[in-house]
């Protein structure tokens, strides 16, 4: 295949070749063929809309897409683009010379380009060189210790950099990569039938499986923050658990830690991998003390080349390392802190920072605290304005089916609210707590915040009714105050008791002034 790509399509060093197919052995062979020819692969999800596929192909100046017969039609209308269906040309590939093919690739040449979403609505193509992939594989293997007899399941889309971990950590030591093409009810059967020994996926993926039904020796969480509840659920039967962290811009993984059932802080993503340099800095680029929140910056050989055709964004995110002359470091946008044992504690995204009554609030900090409550598998907090002029913090909590009714009850709501009150300032305590059996997910397996349900208008009365036991007014003055609170909060007067807290019911200083 590599000779075909070179001789018939002119693929050479740093030529970007599109790959578009569902997970399959054929597309993995195509991927290896692209690299063997010296090119770099660009995953193109066949489920993407036509406009997005066209945008990525044009931005990366792709002239060749390798696909399968099922998805060839998605690209035929694009001008100047050749489409090679790998499943239909097996005999053609076999006709080319099979002797070892030499290329002029160097460690700094591209291995792949992966597009991530951009804050301005324009996706960013991250250019990852071979050097970054090699360093990641070496560091990851040093901790996880895969062996040739391992059977690693391939469940991630090629557009998600977890696939890089699945493929290269497996192939580098000669283990088996098992391509999974089924989901939901049959997953447990698939795991056990193929004797899967290693799986890496998002916590959201693991939350739909029953740990007792999956006989897997090694489990690695990645892509999202993991909760203590999920760790404890999967820490059984001698299973080894890992938590991996890393931005696409730093070759998929920069930190890995071993999780245990008795760990008290699920925020730990472990120390940096070998040769990775990490810094937690304040807004003035000064290192912060242990335990203090700051933004994580990453340096070292795993830092990618930047964003394809976006020099301004590359310059903004890949900056000179003031602590290591001649090196660049990546500005992650992640809020972290050093832990006493030398590990990094991940709190959340800096771009999930909001302002409430003029005060900055890190939504990740609220999520981290609520995830400590027993039974909470996942948590996501949003600042919503479903009612014009009324901004409220809404906590979405994912719980098991057996806990749904409790969390929705007055007692369960009170437990969540009291836990938040115990550890967070008043302005950071969510007004609403919505219990869900599962979260809507994006194609990469992460929580799709845009699809989380809005707070129903009736919830205002619901929150008021479960806050505390109601106490009737004891004087005309208390009755007048109760009426004012109900008017400002837009709830029934009967839902407000004289012992209720105005702020806990969704009020704030601005709404009080507006009245």
Domain with 292 in it: what CATH number? 3.40.50.12780
Q: H helices of 424-475, where?
A: 459-467
Upper half-sphere CA count for residue 368 (Cβ side, 13 Å): 20
**Final residue of a structural domain among 348, 363, 387:** 348
Residues 375 and 414 in one domain: yes
Site of tokens 């800095």? 281
Q: Are residues 467 and 507 in the same domain?
A: yes
Residue 482, pLDDT score: 85
For the chain, what is the domain count? 3
Does residue 287 form part of some domain?
yes
pLDDT of residue 90: 81
Residue 382 token pair? 């949003």
In 282-400, beta strands by DSSP E = 294-299, 306-307, 318-320, 328-338, 344-349, 353-356, 359-362, 378-387, 390-398
Q: Is 66 helix (H, G, I), strand (E, B) or coil?
A: strand
296 part of a folded domain: yes
Question: Does residue 87 sit in the same domain as residue 48?
Answer: yes
pTM of the model: 0.75
Residues 6+ apart with CB under 8 A from 184: 208
86: number of Cβ within 10 Å: 24
Final residue in a domain of this structure, among 348, 364, 380: 348
Q: Tell me, what's the pLDDT at 458?
A: 44
Q: Which residues of the chain have pLDDT under 70?
A: 117-121, 182-185, 353, 355-360, 388-389, 425, 456-470, 503-515
Tell me, what CATH number does 100's domain have? 3.40.50.980
**CA 321 to chain CA mean position, Å:** 26
At residue 118, the pLDDT reads 58
Written as one string, the DSSP assignment of 75-130 is TTTSTT-EEEEGGG-HHHHHTS--S-------TTSEEEEEEE--TTSS-EEEEEEH
Strands (E), 292-356: 294-299, 306-307, 318-320, 328-338, 344-349, 353-356
Q: End of a domain among 348, 379, 396?
A: 348
At 396 the pLDDT is 95
Report d(CA 105, CA 126) in Å as an integer: 19
How far is CA 492 from each of CA 300, 370, 411, 461, 510, rounded to the nearest angstrom? 59, 28, 21, 7, 20
Secondary structure of residue 201 in the 3-state scheme: strand
pLDDT at 464: 45
- The answer to whether residue 151 sits within a structural domain is yes
The answer to whether residue 223 sits within a structural domain is yes
> Are 171 and 312 found together in one domain?
yes
Question: Is the Cα torsion angle 290, 291, 296, 301 positive or negative in sign?
Answer: positive
User: Domain for residue 357, yes or no?
Assistant: yes
Per-residue model confidence (pLDDT) at position 508: 59
Task: Please name which of 207, 178, 319, 302 lies closest in space to residue 246, comparing C-alpha atoms.
Answer: 302
Q: What are 490's strand-pairing partners? A: none
| 443 plus 417 within the same structural domain | yes
Pair (257, 182) in one structural domain: yes
- Same domain as 154, residue 79: no
Note whether 358 and 393 are same-domain residues: yes
The answer to whether residues 44 and 139 belong to one domain is no
Q: Are residues 144 and 88 in the same domain?
A: no
In CATH, what number is assigned to the domain containing residue 370?
3.30.300.30
Residue 116 covered by a domain: no
Pairing verdict, β 353-356 and 344-349 = unpaired
For 443-461, letters b (16+ CB in 10 Å) and e give ebbbbeeeebeebeeebbb
Tens digit of pLDDT for each residue in 152-209? Answer: 999 988 988 899 999 999 999 999 999 987 654 578 888 999 999 999 998 878 877 8
The pLDDT value recorded for residue 295 is: 97
Q: Of all helices (H) and strands (E), which one includes residue 270?
A: strand 268-270
Residue at 120 is within a domain: no
Looking at the structure, do residues 182 and 246 belong to the same domain, yes or no? yes
In a domain, 342, yes or no: yes
Q: Which domain holds residue 17?
A: 1-105
Same domain, 234 and 178: yes
Sign of the dihedral through C-alpha 192, 193, 198, 200: negative
């Amino acid at each position: 295949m590599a000779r075909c790509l070179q001789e018939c399509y002119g693929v050479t060093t740093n030529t970007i070749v599109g790959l578009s197919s569902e997970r399959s052995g054929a597309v993995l062979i195509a991927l290896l063929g692209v690299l063997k020819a010296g090119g770099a692969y660009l995953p193109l999800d066949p489920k993407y809309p036509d406009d997005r596929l066209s945008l990525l192909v044009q931005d990366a100046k792709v002239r060749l897409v390798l696909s399968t017969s099922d998805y060839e039609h998605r690209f035929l209308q694009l001008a100047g683009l050749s489409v090679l269906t790998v499943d239909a040309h097996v005999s053609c590939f076999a006709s080319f010379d099979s002797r070892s093919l030499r290329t002029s690739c160097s460690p700094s040449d591209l291995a792949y380009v992966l597009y991530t979403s951009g804050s301005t609505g324009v996706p960013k193509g991250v250019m990852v060189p071979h050097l970054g992939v090699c360093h990641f594989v070496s560091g990851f293997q040093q901790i996880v210790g895969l062996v040739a007899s391992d059977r690693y399941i391939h469940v991630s889309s090629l557009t998600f950099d977890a696939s890089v971990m699945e493929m290269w950590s497996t192939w580098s030591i000669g283990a088996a990569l098992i391509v999974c093409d089924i989901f939901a009810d049959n997953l447990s059967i698939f795991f056990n039938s193929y004797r899967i020994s290693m799986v890496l996926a998002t916590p959201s993926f693991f939350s739909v499986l029953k740990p007792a039904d999956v006989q897997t020796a090694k489990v690695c969480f990645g892509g999202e923050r993991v909760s203590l509840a999920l760790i404890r659920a999967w820490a059984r039967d001698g299973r080894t658990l890992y938590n991996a962290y890393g931005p696409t811009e730093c070759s998929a993984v920069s930190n890995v830690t071993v999780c245990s059932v008795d760990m008290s802080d699920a925020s730990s993503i472990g120390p940096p991998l070998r040769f990775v340099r990490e810094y937690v800095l304040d807004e003035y680029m000064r290192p912060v003390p242990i335990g203090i929140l700051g933004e994580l910056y990453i340096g070292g050989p795993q830092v990618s080349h930047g964003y394809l055709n976006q020099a301004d964004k590359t310059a903004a995110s890949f900056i000179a390392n003031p602590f290591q002359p001649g090196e660049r470091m990546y500005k992650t946008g992640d809020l972290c802190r050093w832990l006493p044992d030398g590990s990094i504690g991940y709190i959340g995204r800096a771009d999930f920072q909001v302002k409430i009554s003029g005060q900055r609030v890190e939504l990740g900090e609220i999520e981290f605290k609520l995830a400590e409550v027993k039974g909470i598998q996942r948590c996501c907090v949003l600042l919503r304005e479903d009612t014009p002029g009324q901004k409220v913090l809404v906590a979405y909590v994912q719980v098991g089916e057996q806990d749904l009714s409790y969390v929705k009850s007055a007692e369960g709501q009170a437990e969540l609210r009291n836990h938040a009150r115990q550890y967070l300032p008043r302005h950071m305590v969510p007004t609403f707590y919505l219990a869900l059996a599962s979260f809507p997910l994006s194609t990469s397996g992460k929580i799709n915040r845009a699809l989380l349900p809005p707070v129903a208008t009736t919830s205002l009365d619901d929150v008021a009714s479960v806050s505390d036991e109601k106490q009737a007014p004891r004087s005309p003055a208390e009755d007048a105050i109760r009426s004012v609170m109900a008017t400002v909060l837009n709830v029934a007067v009967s839902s407000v008791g004289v012992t209720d807290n105005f702020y806990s019911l969704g009020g704030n200083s601005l709404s009080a002034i507006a009245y």
